[in-house]
Amino acid sequence: MVTTRPIYSCPLYLHSTSSPKHRQQEHAAPTERLNTKQVIREATKVPRAKETGDNLEAKAEEVQEEITMREDEDDDQPVGADVEDTDRGPGIETEKNARGRKMAFKERGSLVSHVHEDRDLPSNSRRRKVAASLRRVHTDSHITTLQRVMVQAGMNDDTAHDHILSSEYSSLLALEFNRNPIVDDEAAFDIHPPPVTQDKSKLALRPPVVTIMGHVDHGKTTLLDTLRSASVAKGEAGGITQHIGAFSVPVKGEVDRSITFLDTPGHAAFTAMRARGAGVTDVVVLVVAADDGIMPQTREVLDLVRKDDNVKLIVAINKIDKLGADPEKVERALLAEDVQLESFDGDIPCVHVSGLTGKGLDQLVETISLVAEMQDLRAEKEGPVQGYVLESRMQKGLGPVATVLLLRGSMSPGNHLICGNTWAKIRRLTSPAGSTVKTVYPGEAVVVSGWKEVPGAGDEVLNGTESAVKKALANRIRKTETEATLQDVDAINNSRREERGRREEEVAQAKLARRGQRGGRVQAGTAGVKEEEEKDVLKELRVVVKGDVSGSVEAVAGAIQGIGNHLAHVKIVATGVGEVTESDVMRAKAAEGMIVAFSVKAPNAIESMAVGQGVSILSSSIIYHLMDEVKERVIKLLPGTFERRVRGEATVLEIFDIHLKAQKIMKVAGCRVSNGVIEKSKHARVVRNGERVFEGRLDTFRHLKKDITEAGKGMECGMSLENFSDLQVGDMIQMYDEVEIPGRL
């Protein structure tokens, strides 16, 4: 039976783990001096339903004051000094030590901090599981953070990876992270990576994981193509790798040793994928073209590597066989980027290679093997699985599949895996070469089939029994739904808050207008503000993104989402893996948007349906084309500007008075065309001493008493203007067009 013990909003509102009967006995006969634990229990007598926020805060203050009074009566020993009592046996904790540790928490102020959200905790668990429960996403840095907090709280002896924390200490630590702990073994159950082996010397060596990175068109794909002896580069659209792959290269002269290469795209749009690749990488090979040098993506890769001390860097200067290649110049440029190469007495190896001819590749493989040997890369070949999804997609005949890089443990068909919010019973393991394998070991990449849904690229893969996997999955889905609900509530509240503010502002403006404090100027000003607001309304190009694999979908969505400015931008309404479907068309129609399909096609029936629904589909296997098309559509949403372009100029030489009927006199200017062509259909303006004095239209336009429509350079003519008779000798009459200029990003 599961025991659920909620820890309420007040940080000191902690439930005792003892039975109700036992608590009654404790309260019936209290000790003469209450310790911290008993004082905390005193705060938990009142049911939660009867407590308001103010009551809880008041109760917390009362309990805090009582704790302070009790502790002030103690001796003057420093806080937590008795935590390291050497007289107690291992694993046994005295009441005095427990009180000292909780005093340390109090001194740090964590027991009265603001609690943000609930967290389900197991009743008794190891430090690693507690760290994972307190965070949304598990990483080793969270374990380090928890360990530091425990040390600061005087829990030095409890920071061992195999030490089991009681529910009470887990709850106190949860409060330290501004989480409201709820002790519930069922709700807190999840599958976590196994603890890191402290002594790795007894573990088996594993292949190094190498990522090839660099600027676009610096020859990464050709280099990889030569390494794996397969013509892949020619089949890739636009000469750019479109998604992450993986393959293994044996090390010459070494028995049962190989190198696992990750093939990451080189275009700047795939920065997120490169960052993910670096996260599971031991060695990064930075490819720099000998005839091109340092480029923006080169610097991006250097920044990625510098953020991870566990990743080693090797520079491969490629295209040394090309005319104009200057490897030494590239080395000096790298030195200017603070890349300390071995040729300049640094510690970063540099190899000159040619992906086209294969020159220097043996030396590159040997260098990678040497660097990996110095890293002494080892992992457990047996036991729990830990890996990461490099890529995932829908494959015809197999359904959802994922390329998984295994870091620890071993996988075989029939194993149960959990990844994010989906799971799999392994149906088949396929090597990058396409052959079926029975077992996969650390450092190897393999295509896993049998997933219930397409897992997300970059998600962690773990294993467990079928019941454990399904139990953990249910909890993950529940937590995801809860977080989504909270986000929806926040969005609704923010929207309503903005709506209330808008209404209040409208009411205030209406009152001000009625009072007539500013007369007509108030109304004119309000109209001007509304007109300006309408002019600056942010416009959106709503897009549904579909792609062949999840990593590409993520990269394309990130690339086009960055297109736009404060007037118009791209909004991603949905993403998905696979060909365009009817639901995609309906979703785009509902959003009044469009569909961007990367390396996938839309069936003829779907295309016809999209045309009928007024939904456009952009499809291409080259990301440049998609980005250009999307950019053009965003530009069309931008407000245009009008530019005046002068088409002709005429100088006024003399003014004539023309007598009309009813004793009316019309001023006519005798002019000579000095530049361009004067056309009657164009707009006219009069410039006098460099200033515009009139803008309008021509009324009459004649040559030798004959009406004309245009006059070329050097031609003399007579002109009069509509509603303007103040022409003077020396004035310049300009004819111009108003041309609309599209907005610019």
592 and 456 fall within a common domain: no
d(CA 6, CA 77): 34
pLDDT at 521: 40
193 in a domain, yes or no? Answer: no
292 and 373 fall within a common domain: yes
Neighbours of 162 (CB within 10 A): 9
Contact between residue 696 and residue 721 where contact means Cβ atoms under 8 Å apart: yes
Contact between residue 265 and residue 242 where contact means Cβ atoms under 8 Å apart: yes
Which amino acid, one-letter code, is at 172?
L
More confident residue, 475 or 186: 475
Range with lowest mean pLDDT among 1-15, 167-181, 205-219: 1-15
CB proximity list for 207: less than 8 A, separation 6 or greater? 248, 257, 258, 259, 260, 372, 377, 442, 443, 444
- Is the pLDDT score of 31 beyond 50? no
d(CA 281, CA 262): 8
276 and 347 fall within a common domain: yes
CB proximity list for 122: less than 8 A, separation 6 or greater? 129, 130, 133, 167, 170, 183, 185, 188, 189
pLDDT digits (tens, 9 = 90+) for 539-576: 899 999 998 887 778 878 888 888 888 888 899 999 98
Q: Which of 621, 637, 653 is the last residue of a domain?
A: 637
- Is the pLDDT score of 93 beyond 50? no
d(CA 148, CA 166): 18
Instruction: Please give the share of the chain, as a percent, with pLDDT higher than 90.
Output: 30
Neighbours of 34 (CB within 10 A): 16
pLDDT at 539: 87
d(CA 686, CA 13): 83
195 in a domain, yes or no? Answer: no
pLDDT at 161: 55
CB proximity list for 333: less than 8 A, separation 6 or greater? 293, 294
Q: What is the mean pLDDT of the chain?
A: 75
Q: For residue 598, which phi and psi values (nearest 5 degrees)?
A: -105, 115
Range with lowest mean pLDDT among 152-161, 320-329, 337-346, 534-543: 152-161
646 and 633 fall within a common domain: no
d(CA 441, CA 15): 46
Residue with tokens 């530091």: 148
pLDDT at 641: 78
Half-sphere exposure of 257 (CA within 13 A, CB side): 16
33 and 155 fall within a common domain: yes
Question: In which band, very low, low, confident or very high, does the pLDDT at 136 lie, cut at 50, 70 and 90?
Answer: very low
324 in a domain, yes or no? Answer: yes
Short-list 150, 152, 131, CA closest to 140:
131
528 and 544 fall within a common domain: no
- Report the interhelical angle of 140-152 vs 167-176 (nearest 10°): 100
Q: Which of 535, 563, 579 is the last residue of a domain?
A: 535
Question: In which band, very low, low, confident or very high, does the pLDDT at 150 lie, cut at 50, 70 and 90?
Answer: low
d(CA 307, CA 557): 25
Average pLDDT over residues 666-686: 92
Range with lowest mean pLDDT among 262-271, 630-639, 731-740: 262-271
Average pLDDT over residues 48-77: 43
194 in a domain, yes or no? Answer: no
d(CA 214, CA 267): 9
Residue 548 DSSP symbol: S
pLDDT at 630: 93
Range with lowest mean pLDDT among 416-425, 458-467, 474-483, 706-715: 474-483
- Is the pLDDT score of 41 beyond 60? no
159 and 30 fall within a common domain: yes
Question: In which band, very low, low, confident or very high, does the pLDDT at 185 lie, cut at 50, 70 and 90?
Answer: low
In order of 300, 489, 725, the CA distances from 660 in angstroms are: 78, 77, 14
Neighbours of 88 (CB within 10 A): 14
More confident residue, 65 or 162: 162
198 in a domain, yes or no? Answer: no
- Report the interhelical angle of 167-176 vs 95-107 (nearest 10°): 10
pLDDT digits (tens, 9 = 90+) for 206-224: 999 998 888 877 888 788 8
- Is the pLDDT score of 644 beyond 50? yes
175 and 81 fall within a common domain: yes
d(CA 329, CA 566): 42
Looking at 573-706, list the stretches that DSSP marks H as alpha helix, in order from N- to C-terminal side.
582-590, 604-613, 623-637
d(CA 14, CA 60): 11
543 and 610 fall within a common domain: yes
Query: b vs e for 396-433, b when ≥16 Cβ sit within 10 Å of the residue's Cβ?
Result: eebebbbbbbbbbbbbebebbbbbbbbbbebeebbbbe
CB proximity list for 484: less than 8 A, separation 6 or greater? none
pLDDT at 46: 38
CB proximity list for 682: less than 8 A, separation 6 or greater? 647, 648, 735, 736, 737
Q: Which of 426, 447, 464 is the last residue of a domain?
A: 464
d(CA 289, CA 323): 12
CATH code for the domain in which residue 328 is found: 3.40.50.300
pLDDT at 222: 84
Structural domain range at position 171: 5-188
448 in a domain, yes or no? Answer: yes
- Is the pLDDT score of 600 beyond 80? yes
422 in a domain, yes or no? Answer: yes
pLDDT at 110: 40
Which amino acid, one-letter code, is at 32?
E
Question: In which band, very low, low, confident or very high, does the pLDDT at 51 lie, cut at 50, 70 and 90?
Answer: very low
Residue 715 DSSP symbol: -
Question: In which band, very low, low, confident or very high, does the pLDDT at 90 lie, cut at 50, 70 and 90?
Answer: very low
CATH code for the domain in which residue 669 is found: 2.40.30.10
405 in a domain, yes or no? Answer: yes
445 and 487 fall within a common domain: no
d(CA 535, CA 421): 44
526 and 650 fall within a common domain: no
In order of 287, 322, 589, 641, the CA distances from 355 in angstroms are: 10, 11, 47, 50
290 and 357 fall within a common domain: yes
The pair of structure tokens assigned to 604 is 């003829």
pLDDT at 157: 60
d(CA 466, CA 83): 42
Write out the E strands in 142-293: 164-165, 179-183, 204-205, 209-214, 245-250, 258-263, 283-289
pLDDT at 488: 62
Report how many domains make up the chain.
Answer: 6
More confident residue, 149 or 207: 207
The pair of structure tokens assigned to 670 is 């005798």
Residue with tokens 């002494």: 376
- Is the pLDDT score of 536 beyond 60? no
pLDDT at 428: 93
